[in-house]
Amino acid sequence: MKRLVPVLALAALSVAACKPAAHPQSAAPPAASDASAPSDASNAAASSPAQTDSGAPATPQAPQLAMAYALGLAVPTDQVRSLMESHQEACERAGPDQCQVLGANANAEGDDSASATLTLRATPAWMRMFRTRAEADAKDLGGKISEASTQGDDLSAPIVDTEAAQRARADERSRLTELMRRRTKDLDQTLAVEQQITQVQAEMDQASSELAAMKGRIAMQTLTVSYESTAMVAPRGITAPLAEAGKSFAANFIAMLAFLLVCASYLLPFAGAGALVWVFVRRRRVKPAIQPTGQVS
């Protein structure tokens, strides 16, 4: 009996030691399900529309615009030419890397009307400053802004197409160069390949020039400033037709008088010649009656 007690104690200890081992086995299925959870999450993430590697659209790029501006300034007649020259000098002082004068002309028609035109090409920063200054100059002289317009030409697609064509021509030139190296013994084939390489190179040079011109239009903006005297600006409002008729009355009257004088200068010689012919014919028809001598009435 005494010997059975240690045996039973050992059996109880072995049973107690086996019970904790059973818990990991029972907990194994949840562990397996946890391990499979990341794979399911990765599959869901792969099929999610928020993924940017394959399904999401690319970020749109800013358009490459070639900007062109037009500005009309109405100032007193005696200030038209001086204002245009001051703006031209401002562009020339800025230097060709900031501003370039493409054209300038001024016309005067008597003492009442004058006009001028100035065309510039400048960087965007300098252009913004100059446009603000030009508008302020016109207002300081008692004038106003008669016209202001903006036009942009999107060159993004032409630039992308030209660059892609350049890469394709470069690859073609490399293939032709390699072909010419392999066939150096055949003179006719070598000459034909050289002609193709020359043609491809000419196309590449032309495309490079076009690409540089397009990028130059983007880097430098153009502005056309039109100056005119305030008397030449068309009136606006309800009384605009009456004011326009009053402004053009003197000009129309002088123009009609000039037209009549021109007509008289053409008709006067014919009228003089006709008058002489008429006098001559009339004198031939009218003869004085001559009485015979020696007759007594």
- Predicted confidence (pLDDT) per residue in 109-150, tens digit: 766 788 999 999 999 999 999 999 999 999 999 888 888 899
**% of the chain residues with pLDDT over 70:** 66
Contact indicator for 106, 120 with CB cutoff of 8 Å? no
Q: Is residue 74 part of a domain?
A: yes
Q: Is the pLDDT of residue 245 over 50?
A: yes
Mean pLDDT for the stretch of residues 254-271: 84
**Distance of alpha carbon 7 from its chain centroid, rounded?**
103
Q: Is residue 7 part of a domain?
A: no
Contact indicator for 208, 105 with CB cutoff of 8 Å? no
The count of residues in the chain is: 297
Mean pLDDT for the stretch of residues 94-111: 88
The C-alpha atoms of residue 120 and residue 212 are separated, in whole angstroms, by 19
Considering only 24-33, 164-173, 201-210, which range has the smallest mean pLDDT? 24-33
Q: Which residue has the higher pLDDT, 240 or 115?
A: 115
77 lies in the same domain as 140: yes
226 lies in the same domain as 139: yes
Contact indicator for 66, 217 with CB cutoff of 8 Å? yes
Contact indicator for 98, 126 with CB cutoff of 8 Å? yes
C-alpha closest to that of 102 among 247, 217, 257, 267? 217
User: For residue 113, what pLDDT is reported?
Assistant: 81
The predicted model scores a pTM of 0.53
C-alpha closest to that of 147 among 66, 224, 86, 239? 224
226 lies in the same domain as 117: yes
Q: Is the pLDDT of residue 2 over 50?
A: no
Domain range for 77: 65-153+222-230
The angle, 0 to 180 degrees and rounded to 10, between the axes of the packed helices 187-219 and 156-182 is 160
77 lies in the same domain as 212: no
Q: Is residue 56 part of a domain?
A: no
Helix or strand (DSSP H, E) at 260: helix 240-285
The 3-state DSSP class for residue 172 equals helix
Give me the CATH number covering residue 110.
3.30.70
For 4, the token pair is 């059975």
**126-135, 171-180, 199-208 — which one is most confidently predicted on average?**
126-135
> How many domains does the chain fold into?
2
69 lies in the same domain as 214: no
Rg of the chain in Å (alpha carbons): 48
